[in-house]
Structure 1
């Protein structure tokens, strides 16, 4: 649309409105991706928690329903070295909860896993040829990235600092997602693990825009048309919106997550490493309050979640992650396609004033 102030990303990705529906592992469904696509946005499928067969099935259903461009998102972390002593200390810290809730402390600890991008995942990309492939926690090794780019896919990744944005451009990203600290879910940080270096979107976005030549996508704390217009005014070519889509019927969220999104106070989110071992923003619950949202005892990503699984089964509200960004209070009950169309049309109205 010529009405948008900067169409570089629209032209690059072949989409009509400058909105990317964020890939949210566990909550995003093929139906959500299709709905966002049909509204002219870029629908995004998260692959981190899917098996290769599940990924193939999801992409097949999306391709059968829509021929519009899609984004497939992968994590590209390095699996940690085994550390049984740390795992044991973490489970021991949780033992009082096991006893209270009647969970079997002596049973083998379940495995919590997030699959990094690898050869098998790359083969799926080569088979389905999604128009966009995005990464979290940096980029995969060059050989894999070269194979992705050889399919014709445009490559995106998240930057939480200016330094990360510059690194991503230097290593082949076609566009960069500027991820403010307001964003829900896992921080995309990969050059540093210092949370004190993480800043808000309003400060981060214009600095990244000035530092790179590729299009920049704004993410974090954007929940309505006002946020879209503000991001565009700061130099973004588009926005990535996640939490707002958790309110759509296409999202799969637990009953506890559903209630928290609708009834928690706007100030009740925090960054926590308890659920996976990496900082991620969610609505504060019992385990975050009592153990501290950031606890050094938590095993390295993605291993922290295993010991919490039996507790989650007993008390989901108290021990499950309730991912949400700081703007969750702006959420509205709308189908995903209608939400996308409404966000775009309202943003255009504001831009035309």
Structure 2
């Protein structure tokens, strides 16, 4: 008998793609896809069970199908342009849903592996943060709201579960910002704005991970460990290198408008109010201070090597955005002409130093 894998969050784009991907694993016998709504996409041969993980019914699903591997992808920041009620529902799914799922896993005699999708946003974002975060780094200030706070709480519950069920291999994957041809995030909406507001005086360093690499590392974490690797623990997942926000805007051909912090905060509130984009305080902190993580553990312990660098991930994303108001090559030439007059180096080399 092969593995029986349960995947939460199957109605979202990433969850649906992973459900279809994991079915091709020769060690997997059945895939149980779970969500509170019917997915708008195909799930292949997976069995879809419509259930809300915030309810105790998730325990019956685990028992009825004798699930041995759980991949928890229903921890999300939601979609852009959400109303207040939708945000509350997302938070409940993230936190209360995770608690219910972990309670069901704790009682299940068949569950042997748990993979949880988390985020590097758990490190927060302040001016006092280190240049590079490792998995053991503690944030200078814990996130006070939004998806980052949800992720911190989720990881706390997962650590408690791991102590109570030491026989279960638990893997927490902290993803950098996920981009690709089919992104589904507030940051992707921000990069799609015709004019990108930025915080005056700041040019943050950003890291990205390609959605195809996300699927590959989830599949690796859900499988049996290869020799010399360990599919349990907490791992930062990101592509090599960094990009400055100014480099991102030039590659998209979209101009930026530097604003004072109070103006950026007001604009973010206004955009959220009209449902244009989820320009949250959490995202504003990222676009002010940036965030870079070390990925040595990802390679040496988990045994995963991303196919795409940060720059390649962004390039793949940019190809699907179309040409902005200003052609990228014209922006690049103008920047370099000004730099030549000022005798400064503005190399757009995608942040040559790879963080590993």
Bigger relative contact order (CA 8 A; separation at least 6): 1
TM-score after normalising by structure 2: 0.30
* TM-score relative to the length of structure 1: 0.31
